[in-house]
């Protein structure tokens, strides 16, 4: 089945409202595709679709467990399912595909794999050859690169971050993904450091943000939005009502 191209809702860099990007696990049987309607109906701007990895070293127990449950062999089929499902909506979130470079996902070297996807984000780029191959194919298919900046910021990050044309995901705290009680105020200076380096796309804080109050604090520190993963997975496993409540809280915090 041919994958449709989703309706373009405008560039993130042109948005006036803070950006809410939320993780959706590809192939996790406990998180059905139909849940993307809740994302779209409750203020999620970017659906960060995660490809499962055998070695998700940046991710804590929530995302790691989801990746372990996922059927990696069905990644492309499930991605097509998500895209076709969202194509039936008048307004849909933008689609960012996130994956570990070390994990070989069949199809990423194929231009058609990227049809309808707005952005890609590759993490764990220890294999430079694979990273460059993914980047070349995705950009050649018209997909905008996003860049992950870890903790702490190193010289390599400053060089890499200038490639981003969609958004920059800035790691908000040391360690793996997972909810945290507090947001490190040091992020204000780190955001300024990226701006001084010439970054003019949205900078979104991720890792640890789990509620509207923290999302609001991220904006007060200078972020243009947030990326939320582990807490979204926890809510999704608890049911539709809890997931809707979380998105409402995050959106309210960002827009306050």
The per-residue pLDDT for range 80-106, each reduced to its tens digit, is 989 998 988 988 999 999 999 865 555
Question: In terms of pLDDT, which residue wins out, 143 or 16?
Answer: 143
- 27 with 71: CB under 8 angstroms? yes
pLDDT above 70: percentage of residues in the chain? 90
**Which tens digit of pLDDT belongs to each residue from 202-242?**
999 999 999 999 999 999 999 999 999 999 999 999 999 99
Burial of 19 (0-12, 13-18, 19+ CB in 10 A): buried
Structure tokens at 235: 């809510």
Structure tokens at 219: 């904006």
Distance CA 116, CA 238 (A): 30
- 6 with 30: CB under 8 angstroms? no
- pLDDT class of 4 with cuts at 50, 70, 90: very low
User: Does 9 map to a domain?
Assistant: no
User: Does 231 map to a domain?
Assistant: yes
- pLDDT class of 9 with cuts at 50, 70, 90: very low
Element (H, E) at 136: helix 128-140
Question: Looking at residue 176, which CATH number applies to its domain?
Answer: 3.20.20.70
User: Does 119 map to a domain?
Assistant: yes
- 147 with 161: CB under 8 angstroms? yes
User: Does 247 map to a domain?
Assistant: yes
User: Does 34 map to a domain?
Assistant: yes
The residue range of the domain holding 247 is 18-255
- 165 with 144: CB under 8 angstroms? yes
Among residues 8, 44, 4, which one has the least CA distance to residue 24? Answer: 44
Domain count within the chain: 1
- pLDDT class of 8 with cuts at 50, 70, 90: very low
């Amino acid at each position: 089945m041919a994958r449709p191209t989703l309706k373009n809702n405008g560039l993130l860099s042109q948005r006036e409202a803070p950006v809410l990007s939320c993780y959706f696990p590809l192939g996790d049987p406990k998180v059905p595709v139909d849940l993307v309607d809740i994302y779209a109906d409750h203020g999620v701007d970017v659906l960060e679709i995660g490809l499962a990895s055998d070695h998700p070293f940046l991710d804590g127990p929530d995302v790691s467990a989801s990746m372990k449950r996922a059927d990696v062999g069905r990644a492309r089929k499930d991605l097509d399912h998500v895209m076709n499902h969202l194509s039936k909506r008048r307004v849909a979130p933008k689609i960012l595909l996130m994956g570990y470079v070390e994990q070989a996902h069949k199809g990423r070297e194929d231009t058609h794999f990227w049809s309808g996807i707005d952005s890609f984000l590759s993490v764990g780029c220890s294999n430079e050859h694979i990273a460059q191959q993914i980047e070349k194919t995705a950009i050649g298919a018209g997909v905008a690169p996003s860049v992950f900046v870890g903790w702490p910021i190193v010289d390599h990050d400053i060089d890499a971050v200038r490639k981003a044309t969609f958004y920059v995901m800035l790691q908000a705290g040391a360690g793996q993904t997972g909810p945290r009680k507090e947001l490190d105020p040091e992020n204000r200076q780190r955001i300024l450091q990226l701006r001084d380096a010439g970054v003019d796309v949205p900078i979104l804080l991720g890792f640890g943000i789990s509620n509207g109050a923290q999302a609001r604090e991220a904006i007060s520190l200078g972020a243009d939005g947030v990326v939320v993963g582990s807490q979204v997975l926890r809510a999704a496993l608890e049911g539709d009502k809890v997931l809707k409540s979380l998105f409402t809280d995050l959106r309210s915090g960002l827009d306050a």
